[in-house]
Amino acid sequence: MGSFVRITVLIWADILTNYALFVMTPYLTNVWSLNITHAAAIVNVFSGVATIMPIGMAFLVDAFMGDYWMLLLSSLAYSFGLSLLAMSTPPILSNAAGNCGAYKPDCIGDAQMVLFYTVLAFLAIGISGHITSLDAFLKQQDSKEPMPWQAAGGFIVILLAIVGFIAIQFIKLWSVRFGMPAICTVVATFLFTTGSCSYKRSGPHPQGSPLTTIFRVFVTSASNIFRQRLPDDNLLPQTHSLRCPGKATIVVQTQNREQKEQNRWRHCSSEEMEDTKIFICMIPMWITFIMCGVVISIGNTYFLEQANDMNRKLGKLKVPLPIFKFFYELVKDHFKRLYVEVTKKVIPERYVPTFGMIVAMLFSILCCITAAEVETRRLDVIRMHGFLDKPNEKIPMSMFWLLPQFLLLGAVDGMSNFSIDQFFTNQAPASMSRYLKLFSRGVIGAGTVGSVLSVYVVGKVSERGGRPNWFQDTLNKSRLDNYYWTLTVLSSINLILYVLVAWWYTCRDPSEDANKATKKEESTQP
């Protein structure tokens, strides 16, 4: 078995863990009997943290570990995490009351709870480690296998994982549902380790992590800010919006190379200082992207829970819930391509991501308005049929009323991911190229965590004056329509804030940077 297949087989862990997370909310609501708000909070916090952590993992890879050791660590974390998840189900470990083999809240004891939250920590390490190093490590290998064999091997690895994903859905026992992904992940990790001697490895980056460089610039600026004046403007690259980090370069002109290496935390180069300034200027834009992540996070929680209680029949055919996922992904991919085709002819390249985020934010507002109107109608049907205290009754309203908001949410997801990714690619310093997609994922992850905070704050505000909280134990008693209207207002305010920040921000032209790099390379050639 070639190195390519040994590494690619780790995709099993990613696909099967995604399955485990997909069914995590039903597991918490059905087996643990948590209300949807509590279950959604657990899943959203975990998902958000797992997509933010790769930034820190990339720092560890660049500064200390290298991609191989990060992959090994994260794969072992996957194996331990999924194994403990299977063990945390009631039939495996009984609660303090004695032997209990049923999937009921009474069978959930302290042992299950401790193991479950330990599982989340291990899975977060596994997910973030694979996001950081799997693609990078695969690109480092000089595989001598013919391309058709590589394609065939990759196809078989992915096909087996998808077949397993589909087959597990027909299994009723939760211990087996979680146990099968655990076994496959352990096998994948074992296969990966068998090729350890043949892999081409790269150690930590010689210059360390760019995040360390940014921190060094701040430390050096702070240490020099009261001691010396800034160098002449003609000696430094010009980023006029920020002058203070320029103090980091004060001693560069008076020290030789050996002295610089001995005093890395006392001075920085002009290039390092300028990269830090660029990064700082991007932070306000980064903050305005988070609201899109908040809106996107409601799709896999509240939207699906609403659909689960509604009429799924289309004529005599009972339509499964994943049909929404199909339309969601369809719009997510195609709307992004349509936007690129239309805008590349009328908008300069540097402004395509900026206008793309405006489009994404407009769609997020429309999505929240649509969701609020549909939920108002759903609640009217519930009251009309007296289902307020009957959460298990199917509501006589077609779930396809929710299709427009899923389509709009798909457009939000596709446009925001594309625009954020392009923004970081075009604007971030070249030294941070490894972190570009990680920052893009981190924005959505921050929004996912922020959605938990927004639900908590909105719920607390809604119950002031003795009024009922908008988030009750069941969706029938909750007022999600009011929450969706709140998100509409917040998204509108965020759009205005984004326009103001984007007006202030000076976009770099990627084509000009490429031309400068080409001229610099030509000038260094003999």
- 3-state per-residue secondary structure call for 389-437: CCCCCCEEEEHHHHHHHHHHHHHHHHHHHHHHHHHHHHHCCHHHHHHHH
- Average pLDDT score, the chain: 80
pTM: 0.79
pLDDT, tens digit, for every residue of 377-419?
999 999 888 888 887 788 888 889 999 999 999 999 999 988 8
SS3 469: coil
Q: Averaging pLDDT over each range in 101-110, 269-278, 335-344, 354-363, which range is the top one?
A: 354-363
Confidence of residue 495 (pLDDT cuts 50, 70, 90): very high
Intrachain domains 3-194 and 281-515 with the same fold: yes
For residue 432, count other CB atoms closer than 10 A to its CB.
Answer: 20
Quick check: 102 and 172 in contact, CB under 8 A? no
Quick check: 225 and 244 in contact, CB under 8 A? yes
The domain spans of the chain are 3-194, 210-268, 281-515
For residue 112, the 8-state DSSP code is H
Question: pLDDT value at position 154?
Answer: 66
438, 19, 305, 335 alpha-carbon torsion, rounded to 10°: 50
Q: Which residue has better confidence, 372 or 158?
A: 372
Which CATH architecture fits 281-515? Answer: Up-down Bundle (1.20)
Quick check: 184 and 16 in contact, CB under 8 A? yes
229: tokens are 């004046």
Calpha distance 86→119 (Å, rounded): 10
Q: Are β-strands 313-314 and 395-398 bridged in parallel, bridged antiparallel, or unpaired?
A: unpaired
Decide if pLDDT at 421 tops 70: yes
Nearest CA-CA partner of 508 in 238, 252, 226:
238
pLDDT, tens digit, for every residue of 235-254?
444 554 555 555 555 444 44
Q: Which amino acid is at 251?
A: V
Nearest CA-CA partner of 214 in 131, 271, 286, 133:
271
Of the options 1.20.1250.20, 2.40.50.140, 1.20.1560.10, 3.40.50.450, the CATH number for the domain spanning 3-194: 1.20.1250.20
Calpha distance 114→105 (Å, rounded): 15
Decide if pLDDT at 137 tops 70: yes
Calpha distance 489→417 (Å, rounded): 22
